[in-house]
Amino acid sequence: MKIEKELTVANKKGLHARPAALFVSLVEKYDVTVTLSKTDDIVNGKSIMGILMLGATEGTVLKITVEGQQATEAMTAFEQFFSKQEEELLS
């Protein structure tokens, strides 16, 4: 199964090191392949360097593609993730 959605980064500091790290750990919980893309840049959702390289700041819209058995659950988790501030993610 393959799902595609556009999600907006809510975190004030954008997808910097800590949130990117949290996102990668979240992706790894599911048996899925994930790509994130911003205009022409497409990166692997398990690559923290790739995610950081997107330079996604607050309000950036990212296209997320999730493929695999658990795609639906994973996408729900990602939607929640992107809507939160860093402090909420850490607690």
Partner 1 sequence: MSSEIVLKGVPAAPGIAYGPSFILDKGEFIVPKRSISASEVDSEIARFEEAVNNARREIHQLKTKITHDMGLAHAQIFDAHLLVLQDADLLNRVISDIRKTKSTAEYVFFAVIKKFIEAFSQMPDEYLRERAADVSDISKRVLKHLMDESKLHDLESLQDDLIIVSHDLSPSDAVSMYNKKIKGFLTDIGGRTSHTAIIAKSLGVPAVVGLKDATLRICNQDYVIIDGQKGVVIVNPSQETKELYIKEQSKIIASLEKLDDLKKLPAQTSDGKKVAILANLEISAEINAVRKYGAEGIGLYRTEFLYMNRLDLPSEEEQYQAYKQVAEAVAPFVVTIRTLDLGGDKFISSVHIPRDMSPFLGYRAIRFCLERPDIFKTQLRAILRASMHGKVQMMYPMISGIGELREANAILKKVKESLREEKIPFDEDMKVGIMVEVPAAVMTAETLARESQFFSIGTNDLIQYTLAVERVNEKTADLYDPAHPAVLKMIQKTIDAGHNEGIHVSVCGEMASDPLLAFILLGMGIDELSMSAASILGVKKMIRSVKLQEAQRIAYEALHLATGQEIEEFVGAQLRKLMPN
Q: Which residues contact 27 (CB under 8 A, 6 or more apart)?
A: 34, 45, 46, 74
Q: Which of 10, 16, 48, 67 is catalytic?
A: 16
Q: In the set 57, 72, 80, 83, which binds partner 1 (CB under 8 A)? A: 57
Q: In the set 1, 42, 53, 61, which binds partner 1 (CB under 8 A)? A: 53
Q: How far apart are CA 18 and CA 87, in angstroms?
A: 11
Q: Which residues bind partner 1 (CB under 8 A)?
A: 13-14, 16-18, 20-21, 24-25, 43-44, 46-50, 52-53, 55, 57, 90
